[in-house]
Amino acid sequence: MKLLKVISTLVILIVLLTSCSPVDAIRGCPDGIIEWVDMVMVNDIKYEHHFPEPNKENIPLTIEKGDKLGEVTYKMADNACSNHQMKNGDAAYLEKGTPIYALKGYPKSFLVLANDKVYVADQNKKAKTAGELFPMKNLVKNIYFESTEDGSRIHTFSESSKEEFLNAWYSLTLEDVGSLIKKGKLDGKRVFLEIELNNGVTFRQLYWADTNTFHSGIIGNKEMKEIIEFEWSKISNNKNSL
C-alpha cells in the first residue's frame, strides 16, 4: 500500500511540474523538439493560422468578435508527444484558458478568433465538399498567385475569373489527404494560391497542377483547371505552362 501511495505521489508531482495531462506525463511527453503548426480545435474542427501578424505585413484587418465558442484546455507545445491526436480544446501554442470566438459575418465553421489571431478551418470531418470546408462565397476580395520562392504575390485573378472560381469551388469534392498521398495525387507542379477575404484575412491553398488537386484534399474539376490555367497564362513573361 505504501508503495502504491509513493507511486501515485510521484505521478502527481510529474504532472504538476510538466503541466501535462496525466497520460502525457506518464508517457514522457514531449518526446523531442516539435515544431507545431499554430492550430486550435473546437467543435470538432481543426483551424490553423499560418501567416505573420498584420502589423508585420501592413495588412489591415476589419474583424469583429462574435460569440464565444469555447476555450483552450490543453497547450500542446512543451507538453504533447509528436503523435498527439487533437481533441476539442487543444491548441498548439495558445495558453490554457484562452477564449475562442466566432467572427461576426463569417461562418464559425470557417473562421475563429483566439488571442487576437484569426484561425482558418483546415480539417472538418463533417465537410464533404470544398464549399462546406471553406464556405467563402461573397466573402472573397481577391485571389492571387504567389511565388513558390518567397510567397510574394505575382498575379491577381480578374473579377470574372474570381467569381467563376468561387462558383466552381462549392461543388468540388473532398477526399482523405492520407489516401491522396498514397495515390501520388499530391505531387508534381505546385502552384500557390492566396485567398484574401473581405476582412483582410488571407490563407493559402497549394494546388497540384498535374493532378488538379488541392493540398487540403479538394479535387478540382475541368472548370477549375481551366480557370487556373487561364489566369496562369496571363502572367507576364510566363514561360511555364501548367
The pLDDT tens digits for 90-109 are 999 999 999 999 999 999 99
3-state secondary structure at position 125? coil
3-state secondary structure at position 218? strand
Mean pLDDT along residues 183-193:
90
Q: Look at phi and psi of residue 237 and say left if phi exceeds 0, alpha if psi is from -120 to 50, else beta.
A: left
Question: pLDDT by residue (tens digit) across 30-79?
Answer: 767 888 999 999 999 999 997 654 444 556 678 899 999 999 999 999 99
Q: What is the pLDDT of residue 145?
A: 96
| Cβ–Cβ under 8 Å, residues 145 and 193 | yes
Q: 202 has which bridge partners?
A: 196
3-state secondary structure at position 223? helix
Angle subtended at Cα 131 by Cα 54 and Cα 232, rounded to the nearest 5 degrees: 65
Q: What is the pLDDT of residue 184?
A: 86
Question: pLDDT by residue (tens digit) across 197-215?
Answer: 999 999 999 999 999 999 9
Q: 16 has which bridge partners?
A: none
Mean pLDDT along residues 160-180:
93
Confidence of residue 185 (pLDDT cuts 50, 70, 90): confident
